[in-house]
């Protein structure tokens, strides 16, 4: 399984840009990288997905270097409501056998 | 749309009791999954069903059984509950293999085994 490693926690202030990095050294050739957000007492929610280079949507950007051994989720101008746990998910090429890491708890302060 | 619906939302069991967690999705997805999440930890895959009629073990299948009743429904059964199975259980569905598709999660079922 493609194991992922993320920082346990990060703090930020409202209006700042936040970058959360995920390491996935044994990512397989056909694996995608997906990021999820989870609020307390809720299921995770999809944020963004990418394969290589850069992907941007209305809420975040995802940067993936050429070797694909890591990825960085970028949240522009965070607000208090962005306080949550963020997970990166990388597959191992077999359906259903992808592994969530322990996630990064982001705390946004006023 | 309801999305992914799990029942019950809360359950307390005694050691040795059995129970079934129900999950239903209305998005016509082929793949369905059961995860557990222990306090302060990430999600671990218990079982998944890539398509109707198929099921397969995930990372932590011991002590659980599953049934893909039809395309919409995927149930998780604890035959003899143990305190180590105290956790929050999430059901999810997707229309492709999880590493290349978006997972849609239910709101979770909180299980306590005394």
Does the beta-carbon distance from B43 to A93 stay under 8 Å? no
Is the pLDDT reported for residue A29 higher than 60?
yes
Q: Does B34 touch chain A (CB under 8 A)?
A: no
pLDDT digits (tens, 9 = 90+) for B79-110: 999 999 999 999 999 886 555 668 899 999 99
pLDDT digits (tens, 9 = 90+) for A37-55: 999 989 999 999 999 989 9
Q: Rounded to an integer, what is the distance from CA B76 to the centroid of its chain?
A: 6
Using CA atoms, how far residue B107 sits from A30, A71, A78, in Å, is: 30, 27, 25
Is the pLDDT reported for residue A93 higher than 60?
no
Which residues of chain B neighbour A87 with C-beta distances below 8 Å? Answer: 42-43
Mean pLDDT value of segment B12-28: 96
* C-alpha gyration radius of chain A: 13
CA distance A102 to chain B (A): 4
**How many residues are recorded in chain A?**
110
Which long-range contacts (C-beta less than 8 Å, at least 24 apart) are formed by A56-63? A60/A35, A62/A33, A62/A35
Q: Give the CA angle between residues A106, B2, B5 to the nearest 5°.
A: 75
Which residue has tokens 């956790």? Answer: B87
Q: Does A60 touch chain B (CB under 8 A)?
A: no
- Peptide bond before B8: cis, by omega within 30 degrees of 0? yes
- How sure is the predictor about B59, in pLDDT bands with cuts at 50, 70 and 90? confident
User: By CB neighbour count within 10 A (0-12 exposed, 13-18 middle, 19+ buried), where does A57 fall?
Assistant: exposed
Quote the pLDDT of residue A104. Answer: 96
In this complex, the residue of A1, A43, A98 whose CB is nearest that of residue B106 is A43
Instruction: Read off the tokens for B62.
Output: 């011991």
pLDDT top residue among B95 and A15: A15
Give the C-alpha separation, B62 to A44, whole Å: 24
Give the C-alpha separation, A34 to A51, whole Å: 9
Query: For residues A5 and A23, is the Cβ–Cβ distance under 8 A?
Result: yes
Give the best-scoring range by mean pLDDT among A26-35, A83-92, B57-66: B57-66
């Amino acid at each position: 399984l493609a194991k992922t490693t993320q920082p346990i926690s990060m703090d930020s202030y409202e209006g700042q840009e936040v970058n959360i990095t995920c390491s996935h050294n044994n990512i397989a050739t056909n694996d995608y990288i997906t990021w999820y957000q989870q609020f307390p007492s809720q299921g995770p929610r999809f944020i963004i997905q990418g394969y290589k280079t850069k992907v941007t949507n209305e809420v975040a950007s995802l940067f993936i270097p050429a070797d694909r051994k890591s990825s960085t989720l970028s949240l522009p101008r965070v607000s208090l409501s962005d306080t949550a746990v963020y997970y990166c998910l990388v597959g191992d090429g077999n359906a259903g056998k992808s592994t969530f890491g322990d996630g990064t708890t982001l705390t946004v302060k006023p | 749309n309801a999305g992914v619906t799990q029942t019950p939302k809360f359950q307390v069991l005694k050691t040795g009791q059995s129970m079934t967690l129900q999950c239903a999705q209305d998005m016509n997805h082929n793949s369905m999954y059961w995860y557990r999440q222990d306090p302060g930890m990430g999600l671990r895959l218990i079982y998944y069903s890539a398509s109707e009629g198929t099921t397969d073990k995930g990372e932590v299948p011991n002590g659980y059984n599953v049934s893909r009743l039809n395309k919409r429904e995927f149930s998780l059964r604890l035959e003899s509950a143990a305190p180590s199975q105290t956790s929050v259980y999430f059901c999810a569905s997707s229309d492709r293999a999880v590493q290349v598709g978006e997972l849609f999660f239910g709101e979770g079922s909180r299980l306590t085994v005394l």
